[in-house]
Amino acid sequence: MAGAIITGIPVATGIAIGKAYFVNRNHMAHLPRQTVAAALVPDEILRLKEAFATVENELTVIREQVPEELKSHGSLIDTHLMMLKDPKLSSAAEGYIKSLGLNAAWALEKAVADQEAAFGAIHDEYIRERMQDVRVVADRVQTKLMGVENDLTAISGRAIIMAHDLTPADTVELQVDKIMAFATVRGGKTSHTGIMARSLAIPALVGVDKLEDSVRDGDLVIIDGLAGKIIVNPTESELEDYNERAAKFETYSRKIKRQCHLPAETFDGSRVQVLSNIELVEEVAAVLDNGGEGVGLYRTEYAYLNRTELPTEEELTEKYIDLASIMYPRKVVFRTLDLGSDKFIASFGELNEANPAMGLRAIRFCLKNPQLFKTQLRAILRASAYGNVSMMFPMISGVKEVRQAKAWLAQAKAELRREGLDYNPNMPVGTMIELPAAVMIADFLAHEVDFFSIGTNDLIQYSIGVDRTNRHVSYLYQPLHPATLRAIKLVVDAAHQAGIEVSLCGEVASDPFCVPILLGMGIDSISMTPQAIPGIKRIIRQINMHDCRILLKDVLECRTVSRINNLVMDNVFKHFPEEVSFFSSLLENDELPS
């Protein structure tokens, strides 16, 4: 038996075998917590400011060294620099030094904890994981306050990097050619650590709780980015097995990558568009490299996070035009601002909502703040003159919201016309379907818009009433719950009866076990992370639409999740017996508590 087997969240597929190398452990476990005399408070504040300035200088230098192939890392470092310059964090820490007499490290920790509490109250997993960036910046400042230095250049050969957390700046300092794979304690499925791993095309696990206790420097480890496992000091037979698996996976990956630019057409001639979800313009290269036929979901929130002032129309327009132009003639669907609350835009102050998940967010927030909304609408419209641009509104719960949003859109168009600025007057406008209310009135909504996009991550959580990040109830998060399937089917039917297209952009779209059911329903396009596209296209090209419809019929007659999951898994094992070990799926939990 191996020395230990620990688990984490796989964020980049593949298998790597090598020596473990820790670039940092949890320095914060030894954070000094002291109070300082009143006479020393000015010195402690100065120390805090100097630590922020030192980190800013370091990151500026590293940013200038980012190689061309890591452009996306450069954008993330820019974000960290922006956070350092944002006085919100440093001012809060300074306040704790002044008011409570805390030493700088402790004060900064409390300031970060305040922000974590605000982010933690947000329902949206994607937004919550943006908190990791704040933590990364704060940790770097803490190391200066504590006098801890990481010599990342000390690594002499290729290794599997282990870290409490890993930042874009770390990967630049480490030199990417030395990184075989990595695993971190922190991070989630949509965290920037995952984006980094996928852009490097190396296996990676995040959220590995027991990493620092189970692995030592120099241990031989296997990173299984397919099953989400780390095997520490494996046996000879385990090594032999994984060497064989790694070779097969490499062969499989090369094969599907060669075919990724072929159309996603079933064996009997049915066509579905395969698009991508992105948040940074720099991810476009990955979309095109992996055979993406467009961007089905461009998350626009990133430009608004962790800053003191709202982005200007010109700033947004420039970014949106870049994206639309690069992707042209391929489609780009902009989702309007889906921020959960004004906690992330300092100029809006605090809302103090008891239940932000049900509160003022997304389209509700935009309609309450029309000037902010109109600025973004104008920017998207202006980008529409340069590419194949569509726009959709998130978290729609009723017809009136759609009409209000479209009224502001009409006003933005009128302004642009008067000012002589170009835009596409026929730009398609859609709505996200992610609330049960929207599902139930899908037939009404279908006559208000040009397309639907089903956001299954939220739809599943709201339909079943479960927070999948809550370990006490996460077993209830079942993508193929009968209620979810019926909801999706109802939306697809309503869209097609009204003559509009329907897309799906949740994690279900990139699950090879679920795709045959989505095809059977008649979904027109699916949108996923760029790296999932080659595998999903391969699945689509190997299946038959007639079989998908039969499977859907059988599944819709099932009353339990376990019965549905069994049917779906049997189907995939039957058609892809040799490839199934390379698939990861959401269909792993039973619907009963363990």
Catalytic residues: 192, 505
Distance from C-alpha of 79 to C-alpha of 85, rounded to nearest angstrom: 10
Residue 551 tokens read as 């499977």
Kindly report the backbone phi and psi dihedral angles of residue 269, in degrees, each rounded to the nearest multiple of 5, phi listed first: 90, 10
Q: Secondary structure of 530-589 in the HEC alphabet?
A: HHHHHHHHHHHHHCCHHHHHHHHHHHHCCCCHHHHHHHHHHHHHHHCCCCHHHCCCCCCC
CA distances for 142 relative to 14, 55, 93, 124, 149, angstroms: 34, 10, 12, 28, 11
Query: Hey, which bits of 361-419 come out as E strands?
Result: 388-393
Strand partners, 230: 6, 223
Are the beta carbons of 128 and 30 closer than 8 angstroms? no
Closest CA relative to residue 11, chosen from 159, 219, 277, 223? 223
Strand partners, 206: 9
Residue 125 tokens read as 């997993």
Distance from C-alpha of 294 to C-alpha of 301, rounded to nearest angstrom: 19
Distance from C-alpha of 190 to C-alpha of 334, rounded to nearest angstrom: 19
Distance from C-alpha of 559 to C-alpha of 78, rounded to nearest angstrom: 50
Closest CA relative to residue 293, chosen from 250, 260, 321, 248? 260
